[in-house]
Structure 1
Amino acid sequence: MTKKTNVLIVISNMEFGGAQRQIVELVNNIDNSKFSVSVCSLSQYTPLAEQFNSNIPLYVIHKKSKFDFSVVFKLAKLIRKHKFDIIHSYLFDAEIAARLAAKLSFTSIKIIGSERNANYTLKPIQKRAYIFTKHLVNAIVANSQSGAEFNAKQTGQPKSKYHVVYNGVDTNRFKPQSNQNIRAELGIAESAQVIGMFASFKKQKNHPFLIKALQQVKKQGVNFKLLLVGDVLYGGLHGSDNYTVALKQLIQESGFSQDVIYLGNRDDVERLYPACDFTVLPSLFEGTPNVVLESMACGVPCIATDVSDNARIIKHTSSGYIVAVDDIDSLSQYILGLINQPNLLNELSNNAQQTIIEKFSSYKLSENMEAIYSSVSCKNRL
């Protein structure tokens, strides 16, 4: 009987974020006959872990402070105890802790890093930490071509270490459905024009861009509802608490604040996408945004900014729209076009769903990750 490859996935937390959602998709769809996968969170805040299949072990090594180095030793102990073959880390804190813990475990464990974004600004201490530990990493999985190129440039890793695996979406969970019940629950008329934005309240997501574009739409006499799904990051991380205060003030002064519906973080987003006619993701930078994939899988077209690999996912004018960051005029015109042309909206909807089924399913995600785990594990046994 072939021995299973024992994989430990380490992440900074399991809150409502894109990387966390992809871990759920991966561990729930990976081939259990070949891989045994466990997850370790460096925070006690683990709401998305509730979506793991029952056979997925979850370990919590709580990081008590910014420089709590005891996490490294506890993680090394966990590696030795369970004899993991591979450690795969997500997000900065977990990346560095995993690299050092693997080294201090004095085992033959292989280390896989991740890149989930592109074209953001690394703090000097983060860049030094990545460069200092880069020789420990056996492979890096980026969820976009631009992310792989960005990470290589920032850290000096050879391009041979990189693999691109696009995010995947569960097409059984995210699929077209009637919006009648959910709109009734939300108090939205069936005939209303509903625009959705699914994103945490943080600077990266660039909510003000959408608000300013919608002000132009409102001046054209067009009525709509704006559905905001997401909330401030746990503990106000990355200044998201201050960002949220400023965002809500901007909305209050927008002239359409009465038409904005705040839903916070939700674990039933597959029901909320169909409540929308289309969605908008105006991010300043991304990797492969889950919300674009999820929206399209539900047959809800998306307008997204031309960052990272968004243009590789959305075929402009065929399955959605790509707009330059902060091109308010173009965004407002695309929004008006979708509101005023229901036949076009239906065409984009069909094309969007088909794109996800063919190229960005959870099955594709797990299949691609299995190949990387197998490759790294084989090298481990040489």
Structure 2
Amino acid sequence: MLSDERTLSRTVPPRGESPAGPARVLLLIGQLGLGGTEKQVALLARGLRTRGIDVRVLVLFEGGAWENDLNAAGVPVVHLGFHRRVAGWRMLPGNLAAFRRFVRHLRRMRPDVLHAFLYHSYVTAAPAARLARVPVLVAGRRSLGDYKQERRALLAAERAATSLTDLLIANAHSVADDTLRHEGVPPRKLTVVYNGLPDSAFAPAVPAAIDTDLPVVLCVANLKRYKGHRYLLDAVARLRPGLPCTLALAGAGPERPALERQADRLGIDVRFLGARTDVARLLARADVVVLPSLHEGMSNAVMEAMAAGLPVVASDVGGTAELIRDRGVLVPPADAGALAAGLERVLTDPAFAARLGERARAWSREHLHVDGMVDQHVRIYGELLERRCAE
């Protein structure tokens, strides 16, 4: 595993030394809906703007919930007009025209840095940035690459894009290690910056209304198969007699009908809350937060639960252990029995649950604050620009 010091020393100068920072940064992402990466892009954009950097967010496909937030913060959002395909992304004639517009936009804006997030963005950004002679190109790695291992075309496009990219920024050491292991990226081309939490994540919130007298087990995750909700429902059904709870699922997605049928069959109290923007209020109402993911990068839901001082029970995948080891309960993925045991331990031992929450909150305040995340990006951008100027 790459240590913080060894990783960041390749890109971040020592404190006290301030390389000339970028004047203009463009952040590129597919869309701005309610997702963890989308939230981090919005937080980074707002933080860069408060530091006097001209920042804009470019979207390939469509806007979303975070667009209004960015506009209110004075960060322009530029729609590039690419078209998404259900069966996989292809450069259709319309997308070729959008690509040409993208290159022209880069030439007109003349950014110091183009930072692309998620697969479609950085495979599109790499050739466009080089055609437009953008000085620094950075790609954000936010998840493990399991889904690409049997898809050679995706891997080939990604490796070609990486060869044109100055630096990859992973949001967890597990993501960085996965990239090194499977893609052969030189260590000098990879660094780690954790996601950030705003001050509001640590502030008290008015509890949301959930009509139950039972302990509330909250899961904040889109209802997609890899999030492992089916194992969570089985785990709740396995809780020993006399330990009922209300399971609150915040999130939308294609798995909802199957999960509703499963909940009915198991006879457990599950509340399907849909997509929510009041996560802080849900956390204030919850007794424990659970994340049963089968694959994960660096979970914003876990981070937000930690900041709220809640105990977390989560599957040991991706960067989750980096967040909650010794500060939460880790269980094997896809193991309903282990998940049930973890929930039982927290629900039956209030003192233990309180200790976990206190440790998690203290650690997250020290290591996950948004100001640190933004400062690291500014230093990285500055050093990359200095290196480019020296070439």
TM over 0.5, yes or no? yes
Q: Is the 8 A contact 1:131 1:156 kept in 2?
A: no
Q: Write out aligned runs for 1:292-371 (5 A).
A: 292-316=302-326, 319-371=327-379
CA offsets, 1:137-160, max 9 Å, x none? 000000011111222333332111
Q: Is the 8 A contact 2:33 2:65 kept in 1?
A: yes
SS at match of 1:39: strand
Map of 2:9 onto structure 1: none
Map of 1:197 onto structure 2: 219
Q: Is the 8 A contact 1:117 1:147 kept in 2?
A: yes
Q: Identity over the aligned pairs, expressed in percent?
A: 25
Deviation at 1:119, TM superposition (A): 4.8
1:87 aligns with 2:114: yes
CA offsets, 1:211-253, max 9 Å, x none? 1111101x52322111111101xxxxxxxx2x33322222221
Quote the Cα distance in structure 1 between the aligned partners of 2:243 and 2:123: 50
Q: Write out aligned runs for 1:148-163 (5 A).
A: 148-163=176-191
Deviation at 1:31, TM superposition (A): 5.9
Quote the Cα distance in structure 1 between the aligned partners of 2:123 and 2:206: 45
1:187 aligns with 2:211: yes
Deviation at 1:328, TM superposition (A): 2.4
Quote the Cα distance in structure 2 between the aligned partners of 1:253 and 1:77: 56
Q: Write out aligned runs for 1:72-111 (5 A).
A: 72-105=99-132, 107-111=133-137
Deviation at 1:111, TM superposition (A): 0.9
Map of 2:287 onto structure 1: 277
Map of 1:245 onto structure 2: 257
SS at match of 1:186: coil
Deviation at 1:201, TM superposition (A): 1.1
Q: Is the 8 A contact 1:72 1:100 kept in 2?
A: no
Map of 2:252 onto structure 1: 231
Deviation at 1:379, TM superposition (A): 2.1
SS at match of 1:223: coil
Deviation at 1:34, TM superposition (A): 4.8
Q: Write out aligned runs for 1:23-172 (5 A).
A: 23-30=41-48, 32-52=50-70, 53-65=72-84, 66-67=89-90, 68-105=95-132, 107-122=133-148, 123-172=151-200
Quote the Cα distance in structure 1 between the aligned partners of 2:344 and 2:57: 44
Q: Is the 8 A contact 1:88 1:111 kept in 2?
A: yes
SS at match of 1:69: helix
Q: Which amino acid aligns with 2:96?
A: F
Map of 2:3 onto structure 1: none
Q: Is the 8 A contact 2:46 2:73 kept in 1?
A: no
Q: Which amino acid aligns with 1:146?
A: S
Unaligned segments of structure 1, at least 5 residues: 233-240
CA offsets, 1:284-342, max 9 Å, x none? 111111000001101112111111222221133xx211111123222211211221122
Quote the Cα distance in structure 2 between the aligned partners of 1:3 and 1:229: 39
Q: Is the 8 A contact 2:30 2:118 kept in 1?
A: yes
Q: Which amino acid aligns with 2:319?
A: D
Quote the Cα distance in structure 2 between the aligned partners of 1:159 and 1:231: 37
Deviation at 1:36, TM superposition (A): 1.9
CA offsets, 1:80-120, max 9 Å, x none? 11111111111111111111211222x24311012101252
Q: Is the 8 A contact 2:316 2:332 kept in 1?
A: yes
TM-score, scaled relative to structure 1: 0.89
SS at match of 1:366: helix
Q: Which moved more, 1:244-253 or 1:164-173?
A: 244-253
SS at match of 1:263: strand
Q: Is the 8 A contact 1:140 1:161 kept in 2?
A: yes
SS at match of 2:58: strand
1:287 aligns with 2:275: no
Quote the Cα distance in structure 2 between the aligned partners of 1:37 and 1:260: 42
- C-alpha change, 1:119 and 1:321, in structure 2 (3 Å) is farther
Picking from 229, 234, 237, the partner of 1:215 is 237
Quote the Cα distance in structure 2 between the aligned partners of 1:353 and 1:50: 29
Deviation at 1:48, TM superposition (A): 1.6
Q: Which amino acid aligns with 1:266?
A: R
Q: Is the 8 A contact 1:176 1:297 kept in 2?
A: no
SS at match of 2:248: strand
Q: Is the 8 A contact 1:73 1:104 kept in 2?
A: no
Q: Which amino acid aligns with 2:80?
A: I
Q: Which amino acid aligns with 2:276?
A: R
Quote the Cα distance in structure 2 between the aligned partners of 1:3 and 1:321: 40
Map of 1:238 onto structure 2: none
Q: Is the 8 A contact 1:171 1:297 kept in 2?
A: no
Map of 1:235 onto structure 2: none
Quote the Cα distance in structure 2 between the aligned partners of 1:31 and 1:12: 21
Aligned residues: 360
Deviation at 1:54, TM superposition (A): 2.3
Q: Is the 8 A contact 1:72 1:98 kept in 2?
A: no
- C-alpha change, 1:156 and 1:71, in structure 2 (3 Å) is farther
